[in-house]
Amino acid sequence: MINFKSAFEFLRKEKGISFISVMAIFVSFVLLGFMLSFLVFSNTALNFLQKQVQVRVFFKDIFSEEQILNLKSQLESDPRIMEVGYTSKEQALLIFKEFSKNDPVLQESLSTNILPASLEIRTRDVKDLDQIYEEFSNKEEVESVKYLKDIKDRFSYVSLIVTIVSLAITTVFFVVSFGIILSTIRINIYSKKEEIEIIKLVGGSNDFVTRPFIEQGLIYSMTGSLLSGVVLTVILSSVFFLNVLGIRDLGSVVLFSNYKIPYFIFVIILVVIVNVLGYLLGSVGSRTAVKNYLKI
């Protein structure tokens, strides 16, 4: 029979301690929620960036359009290649004109001879881009090869650092929350030492004696995690509706390597994770406290 009466009685009498415990757990879970959101958002961004990464090969004018199109056909039959796009000198000029439409002086000085024709090569696996880059870098007919690998690598590096730092901060808060649950239950056990002894003498089983303390830990952690679930839902919904980071335009986020889910399903999963962890923290914390401090 679950009876939270005794646990709630302690919460009512020890408002200060209870408030601090719930707040520490609340902060830990909000941080955890932010960290998990950051991981998913950065994974989504990385996934997007990887799709944008390409090798763009610019050709010298001596290499004719026919030769470039032949090369394009050859590349398209290469199993490593996913897509090859061709931009002629004329198309390159149009694009550049569009970019510089606010600068008439620059536009007047442009002619088709200035801009080179190019091929945009995307591979099925991003790792193959390095090899493609090397293959074209040393060819005589190639003027230059552009490869935005650095941007992708730098983003991965920064996101890894931020993940490690947030993981460390969240771990510290979890350890603190665990410690707070332990100490609060210990205080409660010591303050009820005489009562525990009497309950045992009138026939209280070990389970009857320990249950209120375990429930107390569960109430703290579940209250903290439920509150953090509410706050995370509000913040993540705001992120969506205000279209922060273009989330609303994307409409979905990428979990793991390539697994896409709708944004609000991610929010629900996050809130469920936070609450399950809340239950586990309360359960493990209070059971540890009872095991260590309640000698029965």
**Nearest-angstrom CA–CA distance, 73 and 54:** 17
Tell me which residue of 70, 67, 114 sits closest to 89, measured CA to CA. 114
Decide: 30 and 37 in contact? Cβ < 8 Å: no
Beta carbon nearer to other proteins, 153 or 197: 197
Least distance (Å) between residue 9 CB and other proteins: 9
Beta carbon nearer to other proteins, 131 or 206: 206
Q: In degrees rounded to 5, what are phi and psi of residue 77? A: -90, -5
**Nearest-angstrom CA–CA distance, 117 and 144:** 11
The DSSP symbol for 63 reads: S
Least distance (Å) between residue 283 CB and other proteins: 20
Least distance (Å) between residue 13 CB and other proteins: 9
Beta carbon nearer to other proteins, 105 or 201: 201
Which residues 6+ apart lie within 8 Å of 179 measured at CB? none
Beta carbon nearer to other proteins, 49 or 187: 187
Supply 231's token pair. Answer: 């706050």
Beta carbon nearer to other proteins, 16 or 203: 203
Least distance (Å) between residue 296 CB and other proteins: 8
Beta carbon nearer to other proteins, 205 or 238: 205
Least distance (Å) between residue 284 CB and other proteins: 21
| DSSP SS3 for 62 | coil
**210 CB-side CA count, 13 A:** 15
Least distance (Å) between residue 212 CB and other proteins: 11
Radius of gyration of the CA atoms of the chain, in A? 31
Taking each helix axis as running N to C, give the angle between helix 15-52 and helix 5-13, from 0 to 180 degrees, rounded to the nearest 10.
100
> Which residues sit at the interface with other proteins, rule CB under 8 A?
1, 194-195, 197-206, 208, 296
Quickly list H helices, 77-148: 89-99, 104-108, 128-137
Least distance (Å) between residue 295 CB and other proteins: 11
- Number of other residues whose CB lies within 10 A of the CB of residue 88: 16
Beta carbon nearer to other proteins, 187 or 199: 199
The DSSP symbol for 246 reads: G
Positive or negative: CA dihedral 100, 103, 106, 109: positive
